[in-house]
Amino acid sequence: MAHRSKLSPVGAPTRGTTNPNRLRRVDRWIASSPRTSRLLRAAADPLVVDLGYGASPVTTIELARWVRRVRPDVRVLGLELDPARVAFAQYAASPPMLDFRRGGFELAGTRPVLVRAFNVLRQYAEDEVPGAWGLVLDSMAPGGLLVEGTCDEIGRLSTWALVAASGPVSLTLSMRLAGLEKPSTIAERLPKALIHRNVPGERVHTLLSALDACWATAAPHQAFGVRSRWLETVRLLAARGWPVSGPPSRIRLGELTVPWDSVAPA
């Protein structure tokens, strides 16, 4: 479909803020999550797009390193709306394995199997999120997956939604445990689809409130270290009936995943 490459970029420029290792939490998850890693291994054309990488290509370079642990021949393409950012990133390009191009939600006419879009939708209205998700997924290869989320400036608090063509699949919360006052601190970094829903009566608010309550109950475990307290918190949360998933190795890092329907806007 050669005409796809002539599509005009769609989207609004981001601030461009970026830092090394800012997206390490989501990159590790992409490389270890069964669904995303299976997708990469099975793809006939393993192309991954980093949408809106910012003023520096550093996080795109890091993404490439992580996904190549899953499959060495994965190609990674960084897309940005700002031509100056694309031009600057060329120092790191090594086509076809790592390249940078101007593009937005239309994905510059490419057909990736996986798209990572972080801190891209924060400036959009909540009601614009489904349309943005849909445009990205419609542009992807069949069965493709979008990982869309938000994090703080140094990557200590991070959340993301896994989205398929059929709709959002899951929400992941990932936080640095050292110095964590309470889990609901992560609320300010929820994906755009949920960030305004952290109010009584909404499912995501119920989840974060339950997390805080379990965290408080698990306080005696702090004597054995913050990781012990977190593991007890997650155990208590699951005992309350929350469908927590994720391998123990990920949970130990301060991470948990729940199905989207357990936190979807009411």
DSSP string, 71-121: -TT-EEEEEES-HHHHHHHGGG-BTTTEEEEE--TTGGG---SEEEEESSS
Mean pLDDT along residues 177-182: 95
Tokens of 62: 């890091």
Tokens of 116: 């990572």
- Write out pLDDT tens, residues 202-215: 999 999 999 999 99
pLDDT at 123: 86
Mean pLDDT along residues 69-93: 96
Tokens of 151: 């994090």
pLDDT at 5: 45
Q: What percent of the chain has pLDDT over 90?
A: 88
Nearest to 176 by CA among 24, 66, 18, 64: 24
Q: How far apart are the first and last CA of the chain?
A: 39
Mean pLDDT along residues 163-184: 97
Name the burial class of residue 116, with classes exposed (0-12), middle (13-18) and buried (19+) by CB atoms within 10 angstroms of its CB. buried
- 50, 77 contact by CB (below 8 A): yes
- 21, 152 contact by CB (below 8 A): no
- Write out pLDDT tens, residues 129-145: 999 999 999 999 999 99
Q: What is the average pLDDT value for the chain, to the nearest integer?
A: 94
Amino acid at 37: S
Q: Which helix (H) or strand (E) holds 174?
A: strand 167-175
**Does residue 6 carry a pLDDT above 60?**
no
Q: Which pLDDT band, with edges at 50, 70 and 90, does 63 fall under?
A: very high
The DSSP secondary structure of 46-80, one letter per residue, reads -EEEEE---SSSHHHHHHHHHHHHH-TT-EEEEEE
Q: Which pLDDT band, with edges at 50, 70 and 90, does 25 fall under?
A: very high
pLDDT at 2: 32
- 159, 207 contact by CB (below 8 A): no
- 49, 79 contact by CB (below 8 A): yes
Tokens of 48: 């991954």
Separation between Cα atoms, residue 169 and residue 77, nearest integer Å:
24
pLDDT at 67: 98
Mean pLDDT along residues 79-104: 96
**Does residue 12 carry a pLDDT above 90?**
no
Q: Which pLDDT band, with edges at 50, 70 and 90, does 1 fall under?
A: very low
Global pTM value: 0.93
**Does residue 78 carry a pLDDT above 80?**
yes
Separation between Cα atoms, residue 260 and residue 244, nearest integer Å:
11
Q: Which helix (H) or strand (E) holds 35?
A: helix 34-42
Q: Which pLDDT band, with edges at 50, 70 and 90, does 16 fall under?
A: low
Higher pLDDT, 4 or 166: 166
**Does residue 241 carry a pLDDT above 70?**
yes
**Does residue 3 carry a pLDDT above 90?**
no
pLDDT at 257: 97
- Write out pLDDT tens, residues 96-131: 999 999 999 999 999 999 999 999 998 899 999 999
